[in-house]
Amino acid sequence: MTVGSLVLRPLLPAPARVAAVAGLAVFVVAGEFGLHRVSLPHRRKQVPTSVINQGSRFGALQFGYEMGTGMRTHMPSNLPYIALVSTLLITTWPQALLVGLGFGL
């Protein structure tokens, strides 16, 4: 369970949360196979190469910060939304930490 989900979980019973994740997964996978062209909201800017070229450590740190916070992130796919909604609605604290660790790596 994540901090953001403390508001969402009490509003929906467990079967409804699982159904919401499953519904989103079907929608996203259908889009990946070209059955629709709907793109979920995201920033449509990429982190410029000038950020990466600012130096070995600072540039990498700023690049990671901008990607991780969504300040400038181009997502060519809706797949990350499955992980986001799953983490918000159905994961435990240890699972949520593993999701964060996986994203960070």
Q: What is the pLDDT of residues 66-86, one digit of tens each?
A: 776 666 666 778 888 898 899
Report CA-CA distances (Å) from 17 to 11, 12, 22, 100, 103: 9, 6, 9, 20, 23
Residue 25 has pLDDT above 70, yes or no: yes
- φ, ψ (nearest 5 deg) of residue 64: -60, -40
User: Which pLDDT tens digit goes with each residue over 42-73?
Assistant: 766 777 777 777 766 787 778 777 776 666 66
First and final C-alpha spacing in the chain = 20
Out of 7-11, 16-20, 100-104, give the one with best mean pLDDT.
16-20
pLDDT value of position 3: 59
Tokens of 45: 């800017």
